[in-house]
Amino acid sequence: MKKLAIIIVNYNTKDILRDCLMHLGQLGLSDTQIVVVDNGSKDSSAAMVEAEFRDVALVKAQNNGIAAGFNLGMACVTGCDYYLFMGTDAFPKPGCLEGAIDFMEARRDIGVATVRLVLRNGLLDKDAHRGFPTPWVALTHFSGLDRLFPKSSLVNGYFLGGRDMEQPHEIDLCISHFMLVKKEVFDRVGGWDEDFFVYGEDVDFCWRVKQAGIKIFYLPQFECLHYKGVSVGTRKESADVTTADETTKSRMKSESVRAMRLFYQKHMSKKYPWIVNKGVLFGVGCMARLRK
């Protein structure tokens, strides 16, 4: 297997971070560096890593967001061919990482890949298989129209309906809870955009990858368990294990909307007439009020 660096950003998820690191240790990975960036956790996460995982590189940082954390983690990486950006709540199955890297090695046109992310209830994490949020895609998704026609490529562009979910195929974007990136692609595209605190950093990164003419692939033959939403506390799937307090939950709701507005203004507003932009930003504003 090519040399791999796994970069994990943590915020107050000490127990699941421990489980994650123990799980990675049991996979028997060779030529792999693991870097944990602790974003100012208050639950002794950093002390736990120092005491229990001596082979893991630890970066102690202020909480400037996921993108900033990933950039700090990258500064510790040397001589790697692939970077895996991963959440503390991700548990790759045996053979997942080796298989994904082998697939990417055989396809030089693929620069980024993700795998089948499975929630604890056994359902697919559809956020690993996404389309870019154009005005039409956002409208059909947030209106609920895509749920009426989940297999329609026209109406369900948000989750890329109509694709064969059992076969490898190209997608628009994947989430930073499991994003495997070739080094030369990361170098070409540049670092993570630290304007995004949480949410949207992965959408922005994948946008820049695709704009560079590089393919992003979904590889369903490899699997990873995902304890979705542990650190943000806003997902029903993780209500029993979340470590987020009420202040964190509230901020995550507002950050999710801020990320939508920021991505649209950075990458899409120049592509559409002013009346469309007005409509999009009005809709984002309505969501901001609903999520307070």
Predicted confidence (pLDDT) at residue 234 exceeds the cutoff of 70? no
Query: What local confidence, expressed as pLDDT, does residue 236 receive?
Result: 59
Burial pattern 266-281, b for ≥16 Cβ within 10 A else e, equals ebbeeeeeeeebeebe
pLDDT digits (tens, 9 = 90+) for 96-153: 999 999 999 999 999 999 999 999 999 999 999 999 999 999 999 999 999 999 999 9
Closest CA to 179 of 260, 107, 82: 82
Region 4-129+165-244: CATH code: 3.90.550.10
Contacts of 130 (CB under 8 A, 6+ apart): 158, 159, 160, 171, 172, 173, 174, 175, 203
pTM: 0.93
pLDDT grade, residue 254 (50/70/90)?
confident
Domain extent listing, the chain:
4-129+165-244, 246-292
Residues in the chain: 292
Query: HSE-up of 141 (CA within 13 Å, CB side)?
Result: 20
- What are the structure tokens assigned to 107, written together? 């396809």
Q: Which of 83, 80, 102, 120 is nearest to 221 (CA)?
A: 102
Nearest-5° angle of CA 14, CA 38, CA 60?
A: 130
